[in-house]
Chain A
Amino acid sequence: MLNEYFFVLKAEWMLIAIIFLLLFLKVGTSDWKNETLLYAINILLLVNLLVGFFSNLEGALFSGMFHNNALLILEKNILNLGVYLVSLIAYPWLKKHEHVLEFYILLLTTLLGMFFMISSGNLLLFYLGLEMSTIPLAAIANFDLDKRKSSEAAMKMIISSAFSSALLLFGVSLIYGTTGSLVFTEITPLLNGSALQLLAFILLLAGFSFKMSVVPFHLWTADVYEGAPVAVTAYLSVISKSAILFIFLQVLYVIFKPMSSEWYFMLFFLSILTILLGNLFAMRQTNLKRFLAFSSIAQVGFILLGLSAGSKTGMASVIYFLLIYLFSNLAAFGVIGLVSAATGKESIDHFKGFYKTNPSLSWILAIALFSLAGVPPTAGFFGKFFLIMAGAEKGNFVWVIFAALNMIISFYYYLKVVKVIFMDPNNQPIEKITVPALPKLALMICLLGMVLTGLLSWIYEYIYTLSNF
């Protein structure tokens, strides 16, 4: 019995152990240098990532409130990998920062919240996990303490996330009113699509859309992404979004399965709006982080297309795409983070002639942008391909053609940045940047991921065999 409590909750225990270790380090009077501290923490995170692959136990705890299965273990491993990469990327920025330990404590607390959120079997635990993963995030968005933009970003984030969780909670309360239960498996048979339940679902969907930055609810995204430090932006756009999508998959496919015809049309409209507006706004951006914010909004539109399939294929394609998206986005943010930490430049114009001085970094950024756009040899193409294939299952070809056309529009702005890097002349390009060992490792992992995830077919097949609901 005790054994079960340890192994089913293993990923969570690992994180709790690391958080407490860092807390003790913080409370104790250690005069470690930042470099030593960062190397130690990165080794801890690597251990955490590796341990995640072994001796996992499936099962349910606390009378079904918390459950763990093979798919959730895979999702947690993906999130662990993402956090490890973000931590490697953050090295050049954190090296000069005074509050390294606080940063990691807050970061890992949000990760712990996400773990509880994705493996919850009860709306109460889901809500607690959600808040645990958003409130500390607002605090770390403020981590460039003396920058005006950073605190503005944090303020926008906390207000909009509080508003979105209020919407979500109102939906949850209506669901509780109509079904009398908070347990996922007990709610499902009692859903009949009555008006009150539809209202509840719309409120819930609005809350989720805020967190995923789907279009009518996306306004906070670009500001927060621009103002927050690069590492935090990377974390927000990859890890936090993936975790929300993982639980959203379960909410749609498990809880609201009886209402699938209703949510299909809602997803249809949201996705079309998201893809279109994300693309149109991405074209006119001049700040690279803001540009990636709008590109990530457009990507969510594609994810909603895959999600709408409501089948095993849909689930597998979404998880597969998120894995690829993690590698490509983190590679892009890794390069931007290096440049930002060395020179403080984040505008697209500053990257003119970047290829002349930093050829290898330019290549990585270019491959990342190709992968985000979905150009064939990179993994991004396969990710988008599976998403669109899953969406085509339902036979709604208007939506599929619309998404495919928008992929072409998206080539325009991704390739524009590639053109700026490789072709545009510049008298004062960014000088040669020396890449420290840790970010170099992260960029190598991302590069391998972007190339191999698409070519090794067993990755998709493995995800497909695990996808069940």
Chain B
Amino acid sequence: MTNIPLTNILFLSTALFFIGAYGLFTRRNMITMLMSVELMLNSVNINFVAFNKYLYPDKLGGVFFSIFIITIAAAEAAVAIAIIINLYRSHHSIDVEDASEMKY
């Protein structure tokens, strides 16, 4: 098996992070925005696991951290979807442009 250099993996994770950020800023559907945030969190997971495997193979801190991130991302998604459902009941839409009563 040929070794993949660490920089390639870091390039992947950074690209994923900014794709997620781009998605968050451009998408107008709340569920898609939530998915973009998950993408950003997953790029962090890749970072942690890669650093752990390549640079500090005798420690486990990074792997554990990524497990906790996955758990918390699930909790966050649960609360966010509950909020979006509640918002859908009052606004009959999950487009953020429709939920803009408060400005400036």
Contact = CB atoms under 8 A, between A and B. Distances in A.
A158 B40 contact: no
B47 A177 contact: yes
A222 interface: yes
A53 B19 CA distance: 49
A152 B65 contact: no
Given A135-B75, A146-B90, A176-B51, A169 B44 contact: yes
A253 B30 CA distance: 38
A127 interface: yes
Interface string A140-172: 001001111101111100110011001001101
B68 interface: yes
B104 to A, nearest CB: 8
A151 B79 contact: no
Which residue of B44, B47, B83, B90 has the most chain A CB atoms within 10 A of its CB atom?
A: B83
B55 A177 contact: yes
A163 B37 contact: yes
Interface in B67-104: 68-69, 72, 75-76, 79-80, 82-84, 86-87, 90-91, 96, 99-104
Given A124-B64, A162-B37, A290-B102, 15 more contacts: A124-B68, A135-B75, A151-B86, A155-B96, A158-B83, A159-B24, A159-B30, A162-B41, A163-B24, A173-B62, A174-B47, A176-B51, A181-B61, A182-B65, A281-B104
Interface of B: 17, 20-21, 24, 30, 33-34, 37, 40-41, 43-44, 47-48, 51-52, 55-56, 59, 61-62, 64-65, 68-69, 72, 75-76, 79-80, 82-84, 86-87, 90-91, 96, 99-104
A177 B51 contact: yes
Contacts of A135: 72, 75-76, 79
Contacts of B72: 127-128, 131, 135
Given A128-B68, A148-B90, A169-B69, A155 B47 contact: no
A223 B69 CA distance: 28
Interface string A226-268: 1100000000000000000000000000000000000000000
A268 B72 CA distance: 33
Which residue of A148, A155, A172, A284 has the most chain B CB atoms within 10 A of its CB atom?
A: A155
Which residue of A146, A155, A166 has the most chain B CB atoms within 10 A of its CB atom?
A: A166
Contacts of A283: none
A135 B25 CA distance: 21
A136 B72 CA distance: 12
Given A158-B76, A170-B43, A138 B101 contact: no
A128 B17 CA distance: 21
Interface in A183-239: 222-223, 226-227
A166 B47 contact: no
Contact of B83 (A147, A155, A166, A226): A155
A425 interface: no
